[in-house]
């Protein structure tokens, strides 16, 4: 037994020594460049460490958003290497430089997406998010026409209809409506919009929906589960999904959604009713004999559009209305522009959307300050060089070895004072004049930029227009916060955590009907 302990101790010592040797080697590889090092990898599953902030151990939870541009301000350059020892010693290249980021996102073959990080999102079938190379090109070619102008108009019309129902049937004659957390409004709004514009399945705010024959939950219930409980489904083995009642309900929700989607596909194909403007119909119409998607691929891609378009838009709208409530002078500017475009008794249509320049400016400023995705992973497929310039115009040439993991830090780019004046303050006006487009990355960039960008923009502008035209938005006054300063209120209301995307903790708002 004693010999066994000695053997284990020796093996452990050799292993630790090997880790230390490789770690020191990795640090030497980047010693001429700005370098931060921690024991554990700073980049977890969704873009940040799961450990608290401990010097030299972990940078902390949600660190890309909390630190913003500070990590580069410390290093004196807009790039930095991050060296860590666990799970295996390696270097990450962190980027907050617009020119370097532009080169990375536009060179898809040199800097591909590390799809192995996203494979857990393929449980419904292969899709555009978890593919690369030729497979990705096929999915992109088929999916791009689905996001058409006809679909954009449908998004606007359905978002307007859903909010009209909220105002008339749920809020009714109330002059003042208090919402404890605005995400309780924006999540079902986004879910309803993506259901209508994605599947052609209309939802209402009524929870008493009839249960269809052959199903154990409604389409709305299954869709909600699939959008909110996907982490359990993605990370747990199938046998574990039966361990608790909550997990069993999650399993049933995903099974039900797959069943509903198969029924919709079968109905559209059998009746030839592939002429609607929703995404699924457009996907079906875009396939041909040479590029036909399997049923699993249709379901997998539609689900990815559903997941990506649901949470991100809901969170962005929640942050946007929090900012408008905190900055009433900006809200007044939005309202004045909407009023100037409204004639008596007229409703605003999709064709009017380009006129809402201030609403779009508010949306873009929200996305700049609260990007849904706080880091975008890439990998160097070959030895290459990234080039940029310093603030003084001096050239920078950075050698990037093959296999280097690269993290495009969206908050660092969006709060970089080199590109954005006074970046920590809410100033929508900056988007009404020339602005640094290469330093704006909420929808990623290059060939792999978000295919649903216009979908999200249309839904968001329709929502901002509908709410602000009818209601004044303020922060809910609560006794326990009676003596806080504006800065403290702002920090409280805009507090975040990072799950799949950047998420507001709690945004309490009051909606007062305009006269």
Cα 362 off chain centre by: 17
Tokens of residue 248, six digits: 């069993």
Tokens of residue 202, six digits: 């209309």
Q: What is the DSSP string of 92-123?
A: EEEE--HHHHHHHHH-TTTS---GGGGGGGGT
The 10 Å CB-count burial string (b at 16+, else e) for 316-325 is bbbbbbbbbb
Nearest by Cα to 96 from 486, 410, 494:
410
Q: Say if residue 450 carries a ligand binding annotation.
A: yes
Tokens of residue 1, six digits: 């037994």
Q: Coil, strand or helix: which one is 282?
A: helix
How far apart CA 135 and CA 132 sit, in angstroms, is: 6
Length of the chain: 515
How far apart CA 138 and CA 427 sit, in angstroms, is: 40
- Which residues, in sequence order, are CB contacts of 17 under 8 Å at separation 6+? none
How far apart CA 465 and CA 461 sit, in angstroms, is: 6
Sheet containing strand 79-86, strands side by side: 35-40, 79-86, 90-95, 405-409, 375-379
Longest dimension (CA), the chain: 91
Alpha-carbon torsion (323, 328, 333, 339), positive or negative:
positive
Sheet containing strand 471-475, strands side by side: 176-179, 509-513, 471-475
How far apart CA 403 and CA 158 sit, in angstroms, is: 45
Alpha-carbon torsion (368, 372, 374, 379), positive or negative:
negative
How far apart CA 150 and CA 130 sit, in angstroms, is: 27
How far apart CA 130 and CA 124 sit, in angstroms, is: 11
- Binding residues for heme, as ranges, are 450
């Amino acid at each position: 037994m004693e010999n066994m302990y000695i053997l284990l101790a020796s093996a452990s010592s050799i292993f630790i020594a090997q880790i230390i040797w490789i770690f020191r080697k990795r640090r030497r590889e980047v010693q001429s460049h700005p370098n931060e090092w921690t024991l554990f990898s700073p980049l977890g599953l969704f873009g940040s460490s799961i450990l608290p902030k401990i010097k030299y151990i972990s940078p902390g939870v949600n660190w890309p958003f909390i630190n913003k541009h500070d990590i580069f301000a410390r290093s004196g350059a807009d790039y930095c290497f991050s060296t860590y020892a666990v799970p295996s010693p390696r270097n990450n290249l962190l980027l907050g430089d617009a020119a370097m980021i532009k080169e990375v996102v536009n060179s898809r073959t040199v800097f591909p997406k590390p799809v192995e990080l996203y494979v857990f999102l393929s449980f419904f079938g292969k899709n555009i998010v978890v593919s690369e190379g030729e497979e990705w090109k096929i999915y992109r070619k088929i999916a791009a026409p689905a996001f058409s102008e006809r679909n954009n108009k449908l998004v606007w019309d359905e978002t307007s209809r859903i909010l009209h129902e909220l105002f008339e049937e749920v809020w009714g004659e109330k002059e003042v409506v208090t919402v404890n957390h605005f995400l309780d409004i924006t999540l079902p709004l986004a879910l309803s919009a993506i259901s209508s514009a994605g599947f052609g399945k209309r939802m209402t705010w009524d929870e008493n929906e009839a249960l269809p024959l052959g199903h154990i939950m409604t389409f709305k219930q299954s869709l909600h589960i699939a959008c909110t409980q996907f982490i359990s489904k993605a990370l747990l083995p199938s046998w574990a999904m039966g361990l608790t009642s909550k997990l069993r309900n999650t399993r049933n929700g995903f099974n039900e959604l797959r069943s509903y989607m198969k029924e919709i596909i079968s109905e559209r194909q059998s009746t030839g009713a592939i002429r609607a403007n929703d995404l699924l119909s457009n996907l079906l119409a875009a396939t041909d004999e040479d590029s036909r998607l399997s049923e699993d691929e249709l379901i997998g891609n539609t689900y990815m559009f559903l997941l990506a378009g649901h949470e991100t838009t809901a969170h962005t709208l929640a942050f946007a209305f929090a900012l408008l409530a905190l900055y009433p002078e900006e809200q007044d500017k939005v309202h004045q522009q909407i009023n100037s475009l409204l004639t008596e008794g007229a409703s605003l249509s999709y064709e009017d959307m380009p006129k809402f320049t201030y609403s779009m400016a508010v949306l873009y400023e929200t996305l700049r300050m609260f990007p849904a995705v706080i880091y975008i992973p890439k990998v160097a497929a070959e030895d290459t060089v990234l080039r940029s310039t310093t603030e003084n115009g001096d050239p920078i040439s950075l050698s990037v070895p093959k296999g280097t993991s690269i993290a495009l830090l969206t908050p660092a780019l969006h709060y970089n004072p080199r590109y954005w004046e006074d970046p920590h303050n809410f100033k929508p006006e900056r988007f009404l004049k020339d602005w640094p487009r290469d330093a704006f990355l909420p929808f990623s960039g290059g060939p792999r930029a978000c295919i649903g960008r216009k979908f999200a923009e249309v839904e968001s502008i329709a929502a901002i227009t509908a709410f602000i035209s009818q209601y004044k938005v303020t922060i809910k006054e609560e006794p326990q916060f009676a003596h806080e300063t504006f800065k403290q209120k702002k920090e409280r209301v805009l507090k975040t955590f990072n799950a799949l995307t950047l998420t507001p903790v709690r945004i309490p708002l009051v909606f007062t009907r305009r006269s």
